[in-house]
Amino acid sequence: MTQTASRPDAGAQRAPLPLDVEAIRADFPILSRTVRDGKRLVYLDSGATSQKPRQVLDAERWFYENVNAAPHRGAHQLAEEATGAYEEARAKIGAFIGAPETEVVFTRNTTEAINLVAYALSNAATAKEPEFRTYAAGQGDEIVVTEMEHHADLIPWQQLCERTGATLRWLGLTDDGRLDLSDLGTVVNERTKLVAVTQQSNILGTINPIAPIVERAREVGALVLVDGAQSVPHQPVDVQALGADFLVFSGHKMLGPTGVGVLWGRYEVLDKLPPFLTGGSMIEVVRMEGSTFMPPPQRFEAGVPMTAQVVGLGAAVDYLQALGMDKVEEHEKALTAYALEKLAEIPGVRVVGPADTVARGGAVSFTVEDIHPHDVGQVLDDLGIAVRVGHHCAWPVVRRYGVPATTRATFYVHTGYDDIDALADGIRAAQKFFGTV
């Protein structure tokens, strides 16, 4: 079996793409390799982790070959230059989301950033410094999440509630894959300590309205954490416009290296949070009897940080800004519209998530009648097409829509219409292989 070229049936509309896909592909070394006996790699799994352009890889290599040292330690020239590179990247990454560098905390990834906040809220209850107790969560308090969260934005809050006696509540979903905000006024109430919500669903692709949630949270004095793991890589995000207290995202999903993520926090909130991980770098004065801590962001960055990765993420931000986040968003919107049309042409294929591109990003999950997603994924893999199969670390979401698992295609800057044609042809090949059509 070979991948067939685009078929003449194409009722699906191909709007001109804002990004030059061929030029961008040339920047990604991995896209020139082949898989499964010489097939072109069709990478539709950027939602799990993105591929890296040469510019990012070069930045990491530049750091190690020229300035490698532990930042914020030592007085030698390398230490100075490493500190400079680390802090320049912080400023750049902050500017990318409209934040001053004092509000940018580096973590390992989104998951660690959320855990940092969740542990800070429970550590607050026993903090010896009175100001660190400001946001303590305990008995009688409530934490609100949504049924759309991936596990990283659910389990840390479940665990926070178990540690502190707080109660977990959640906003449900509508049948068409949107947040159900009809009971926002009761679910978020005077007992609510924090609301955690994803800006873009990793399964459904839904882009959530953050403004009404922030507005309600402000009325009751609750904090708002926005999970930007799937939004920051794919659309312009400005924390000033967002109005939340925290935004978290991962470098590796936005062309950056693994091992670096970001917690943005409003400074006055960060300033009143006790640390999560402790050790070197985050201290002010250390005595055997006890220690005092640095102001943010250093208070939350214990140990020698992932300096080369931060520099790499800085290069990823440069790369995305050169393309223009508006164009990245438009590009994916055009691809998503095309993919939704192409999938709708295939009998037995059901998209799980919004059926149009209104407030929707480029994560397209679907089921194929009578073929398990694993088996769909296996046939696609055999054709060189990399997709995600399973519950996508958001088990409650797939359960909500009555399917055990889905197949998910996600798009990015190097994705073109040819990739989506390959996907559609691959789904038809799976149907043929398993004899369901």
Partner 1 sequence: MQLESMYQEIILDHYKNPHGRGLRDPFDAEVHHVNPTCGDEVTLRVKIEGDTIADVSYEGMGCSISQASVSAMYDLVVGKPVTEALGTGEHFMTLMQAKGDPSVAEKLEDELEDAVAFAGVSKYPARIKCALMSWMALKDASARALSATGGTA
| Residue in the block written with tokens 């809050």 | 157
Report the 10 Å Cβ neighbour count for 211: 12
Q: Tokens 């508006």 — which residue?
A: 326
The site for partner 1 (CB under 8 A) is made up of: 1, 36-37, 372-375, 378-379, 382, 389-391, 395, 398, 404-405, 433-434
Q: Contact 221/21 with Cβ under 8 angstroms? A: no
| Nearer to partner 1 (CB atom), residue 331 or residue 388 | 388
Phi, psi of 35 (to 5 degrees): -135, 160
**Is 161 known to be catalytic?**
no
Minimum distance between the CB of residue 379 and partner 1, rounded to whole angstroms? 6
Chain centroid to CA 378: 25
Beta carbon nearer to partner 1, 36 or 73: 36
Cα(263)–Cα(265) distance, integer angstroms: 6
Nearer to partner 1, 69 or 380 (CB): 380
CB of 197 to partner 1, least distance (A): 24
Length of the chain measured in residues: 437
Nearest Cα to Cα of residue 235 among 249, 256, 215, 245:
249
Min. distance of Cβ 395 from partner 1 in angstroms? 7
Instruction: For partner 1, give the closer residue by CB, 328 or 398.
Output: 398
Q: How far is the CB of 374 from partner 1 (least distance, A)?
A: 3
Q: Annotated catalytic residue: which of 393, 398, 424, 430?
A: 393
Nearer to partner 1, 7 or 374 (CB): 374
The rounded distance, in Å, linking the Cα atoms of 81 and 275 is 27
Looking at beta carbons only, is 123 or 410 nearer to partner 1? 410
Beta carbon nearer to partner 1, 124 or 371: 371
Residue 68, token pair as written in the block:
């490698």
Q: What is the DSSP string of 308-357?
A: HHHHHHHHHHHHHHHH-HHHHHHHHHHHHHHHHHHHHTSTTEEEES-SSS
Task: Give least dist CB 408 to partner 1, A.
Answer: 12
CB of 196 to partner 1, least distance (A): 22
State how far the Cα of 81 lies from the Cα of 362, in Å rounded to an integer: 39
Q: Give bridge partners of residue 227 from the DSSP assignment.
A: 198, 248
Distance between CA 132 and CA 148 in Å, rounded?
31
For tokens 């102001």, the residue is 295
CA geometry: angle 183, 187, 193, nearest 5 deg: 150
Minimum separation from the CB atom of position 394 to partner 1 (A): 11
Pairing of strands 34-35, 39-40: antiparallel
Active site residues: 393
